[in-house]
Chain A
Amino acid sequence: MDDVSGINKKKLQDWFWAYFMILPTVAGTLIFSIWPLIQSFYLSFTEWGAFGSYDWGGTVNFERMLGDSVLWQALRNTIVFTVGSVPFGIALSIIVAVLLNTKIRGMSTYRTLYFLPVVTMPVAVAMVWRWLYNADFGLLNHILSTVGIAGPRWLTDPNYAMISLIIVSIWSSIGYNMVIFLSGLQGISKQYYEAAEIDGANSFVQFFRITLPMLSPTIFFVTVTSLISSFQVFELIFTMIGINSPVIRHTQSVVFYFYRQAFVNMDKGYAAAISLVLFVIILGVTIVQFRLQKRWVHYE
């Protein structure tokens, strides 16, 4: 009897310490994420008037979204941005990682240099690129003019604004993905390459037949996370284009439009509805990727 109650006492004590130790994290998650998420569901069914008052509006926000051409354009912009930046960014990071993985001298110096943009504040990144892109005094158009090309007004011409953003986005993410790919490459056994060497396969054949398939789980991981973050692009547009730019309609992302509705136009009900739809889109894209991975991801 004594023994049993002794165990129970020990158990209760363990439970006490467990709850005590998880309390801050559980409380923080509930108060600042889970409960607000539930409130967002409620808010998405409300209509906001002036001075922050709101009423139940039923599905009015969702109906409004269907007919909101600016929102549709924002969604299209987001997709263009994602399709333009993610595949190229990943391809370039793989190339850099593969080149660095050839036991080359100065590897860690290269790695440091390629990684610098990752640790740089996005606002500062935007600032220097605005300066480089500057149509009148910018370095980029000057360099182009030396080879006889008249550079465009990068950030204010609707035909070039998006590509300008995509370039900066790729520039700032190469380093991060490169590091993940490097660690993936280091996990590939040397034996495969030795065998291929004996068979006389050249570097290109080795890259496509060994490196890419063996790296596919890492490529999958990077693709999923890159798509999620690029669907949420905001800071780049806020700092490089700005809310008052004439090309903002051609470049704003869904999250940027959400921000405007929520915190500039003070239409929080509509914004909450947008954020939930975005959540569903991201979830959907991620699920589709997990479904498709069987077709191309190679697990050992």
Chain B
Amino acid sequence: MSKERSQKRSTGKLIVHIILIVGALLMVGPFIWMILTSFMSLGESTRVPPVIIPAQLRWQNYQRVFTSFPFMRFYWNTFSTTVMKVAGQVFFCSMAAYAFARIRFPGRDFLFVMILSVLMVPSQAYIIPRYLLMARLGWLNTLTALTVPGLTSSFGTFLLRQFFMSLPTELEEAATLDGCNHFQIYYKIFAPLAKSGMIALAIFTALWSWNDLMWPLIVNSSPLKMPLSAGLSSLQGQYGTDFPLLMAGSLMAIAPMIAMFIVLQNQFVEGIALTGTKG
């Protein structure tokens, strides 16, 4: 009886594995095809029936990405704006979140609800006047336009406030007795305790900033000020059927986020679970 049961269980596990492997292949297949194509010659990529394994590793495709466009410039634009936004949001959001969570002051609830309400508004509803503001400030086609509106965020403030609310009150009582002001309490005691929340926010911000397309498309039409996303999409317009070139460019564009995900996997998953259950 028990033998029969354990046998039944192990066939069950086998079926589960088969389903999951088929699923995994469907998920990873496009990435593998991306890699294979990036090493093909143009001729190989347009053969019928298709070539699966390229005859040789054509690294030239990767070189061509750099010579056909200002790819390094795209990279720098994405990288620098992402770093600025991550730093800005982690600092400004955690500071505001601390104040909203731990200090009583007039207008606190009103201001917090105001910040929160933005989360319910689709960005299209304010993107036109925001664009007009950028134009009036003379920020169109600058990295400033990509960066400054993303230095603070409602999402981050909300996420970190949840964190600070859950910490015990004795913490600041002791520090207040020592004569610390609120900024010092935040900086010395609370910020280090909210590290996991800040890492989650940093990951989300990096991912959104790195992959965002609509805003860069609107404010920066000059190729020299485009981030990778907009740059790649303009690449597609120019080299529509040169798939080896497009795949090589895509792979280089997605590599940093995939690397970040693999290294920080657990923090990613925790962060999503956090927003999923408390959001």
Binding site for B on A (CB under 8 A): 13-15, 17-22, 24-29, 31-37, 39-40, 43, 96, 99-100, 102, 104, 106, 108, 110-117, 119-125, 127-132, 134, 136-137, 139, 142, 171, 174-176, 179-180, 182-184, 187, 203, 218, 221-222, 225, 228, 231-232, 234-235, 238-239, 242, 255, 258-259, 262-263, 268, 271-272, 275-276, 278-279, 282-283, 286
Contact = CB atoms under 8 A, between A and B. Distances in A.
Interface in B144-192: 148-149, 151-154, 157, 181-183, 186
B277 A234 contact: no
Nearest to A286: B120
A239 B99 contact: no
Given A14-B182, A131-B246, A175 B128 contact: no
B38 to A, nearest CB: 10
A-B interface, 9 closest residue pairs, ranked by CB to CB distance from nearest: A28-B152, A183-B273, A36-B129, A180-B276, A39-B129, A36-B126, A124-B250, A17-B182, A25-B96
B31 A116 contact: yes
Interface of B: 12-13, 16-17, 19-20, 23-24, 26-28, 30-31, 33-34, 37, 45-50, 92-93, 95-96, 98-100, 103-106, 108, 111, 114-115, 118, 120-133, 148-149, 151-154, 157, 181-183, 186, 207, 210-211, 213-214, 217-218, 228-229, 232-233, 236-237, 243, 246-247, 250-251, 253-254, 257-258, 260-262, 265, 268-269, 272-273, 276-277, 279
A239 B49 contact: no
A102 B211 CA distance: 33
A139 B99 CA distance: 55
Given A18-B103, A26-B111, A279-B122, A179 B182 contact: no
B124 A258 contact: yes
Q: Quick one: which of A180, A218, A231 has the most chain B CB within 10 A?
A: A180
